[in-house]
């Protein structure tokens, strides 16, 4: 799903995908911002908290978090969050690495300064591709 999420964000931001060896960001938007993309499959109605894959660096401008329905693969939510906001939310994961940190699917991105709900933007790309 990660490649699909990166592709959707790339199209939605009129950007280009990072080279395969890039560790800090996945898409360069047409305005020059470096975007990290994190995604997760989530079961509708699930009360379980799931984690996005860990961050190992903070060398990106914003992160777009995308959750997909685990059964239909529909885009459930998508949030653009500034790097500083992601760092404030993330919790350390010492066994993964000294700088690794995670964010959970139950995180309230709406409460983060500068966060933007981009769900309709990402859904529009997905619908266009159907």
pLDDT at 98: 46
Average pLDDT score over the chain: 89
Render pLDDT for 48-92 as a digit per residue (tens, 0 to 9).
778 888 888 899 999 999 999 999 999 999 999 999 999 988 887
Six-digit token pair at 17? 């995908």
Q: Does domain 2-129 have CATH number 1.50.10?
A: no
Whether the predicted pLDDT of 99 surpasses 60: no
Q: Where are the domains of the chain?
A: 2-129
The contacts of residue 62 (CB under 8 Å, 6+ apart) are: 33, 34, 35, 36, 80, 81, 82, 83
- What's the CA gap between 37 and 67, in Å, rounded? 11
Whether the predicted pLDDT of 94 surpasses 50: yes
Between 109 and 97, whose confidence is greater? 109
Q: Is the distance from CB of 110 to CB of 117 less than 8 angstroms?
A: yes
pLDDT at 90: 84
pLDDT at 38: 95
Which of these, 54, 50, 65, lies nearest to 90 by C-alpha position? 54
pLDDT-wise least confident of 11-15, 22-26, 94-98, 109-113 = 94-98
């Amino acid at each position: 799903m990660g490649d699909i999420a990166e592709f959707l964000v790339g199209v939605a931001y009129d950007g280009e995908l990072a080279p395969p060896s890039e560790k800090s960001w996945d898409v360069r938007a047409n305005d020059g911002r470096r975007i990290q993309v994190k995604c997760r499959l989530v079961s509708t109605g699930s009360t379980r908290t799931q984690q996005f894959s860990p961050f190992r660096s903070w060398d990106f401008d914003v992160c777009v978090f995308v959750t997909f329905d685990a059964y239909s693969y529909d885009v459930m939510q998508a949030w653009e969050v500034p790097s500083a906001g992601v760092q404030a939310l993330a919790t350390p994961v010492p066994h993964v690495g000294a700088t690794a940190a995670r964010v959970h699917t139950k995180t309230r991105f709406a409460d983060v300064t500068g966060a933007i709900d981009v769900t309709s933007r990402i859904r529009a790309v997905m619908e266009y591709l159907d």
